[in-house]
Amino acid sequence: MRNEVVEVIIKNVVTTPKGVALFLGNNDKTFVIYVDLLMGEQITSYQQARNVTRPLTYDLIRNLCLGFDIEVQCIVITDMKEGIFFARVLLKQKCEGVIKIVELDSRPSDAILLALTHKKPLFVDHSLFQDLPDAKDWAKNCIKD
């Protein structure tokens, strides 16, 4: 993985005809990633700290990580090809005095949910961030769900 990254946050989540638009960014720039409706609803649920009656997949993953002493370090949106974003999840496990670091490929929507559920930072590769068009004005005009 490349070393230079830019930290971003979820600035807005908006339902659109294409699915759900996640506006991610910082003070310099905002960009958009489209996810399916279910992922958008789950991200919104975690942002609003809604209680669910049954554990969701990400609750199961969080509990597995806790049970096996695996810590999500961060997620990085690493690339975009033909309009499709790619991400990596960095995990750390301590086992009998040995620390293991693992990187996993992930869909950005899954990685973003992991970052939310584990309260971990979300990063974007610096070069990718520079190349993405700025959607700051569009994000301001959208009404937050």
pLDDT at 141: 66
Residue 140 has pLDDT above 80, yes or no: no
CA distance 138 to 71: 35
Q: For residue 39, what are its two tokens? A: 């992922």
CATH number of the domain located at residue range(s) 5-141 in this protein: 3.10.690.10
Cβ atoms of 139 and 29 closer than 8 Å: no
pLDDT at 145: 41
More confident residue, 49 or 123: 123
Give the predicted TM-score (pTM) of the model. 0.84
Query: How much is the mean pLDDT over the chain?
Result: 87
Residue 130 has pLDDT above 70, yes or no: yes
User: Which residues fall within 8 angstroms of residue 57, CB to CB, at 6 or more apart?
Assistant: none
Query: Tens of pLDDT along 28-79?
Result: 999 999 999 988 888 888 777 767 777 778 788 888 888 888 999 999 999 9
pLDDT interval class at 103 (50, 70, 90): very high
**Nearest in space to 145 (alpha carbons), one of 42, 25, 31, 26:** 42
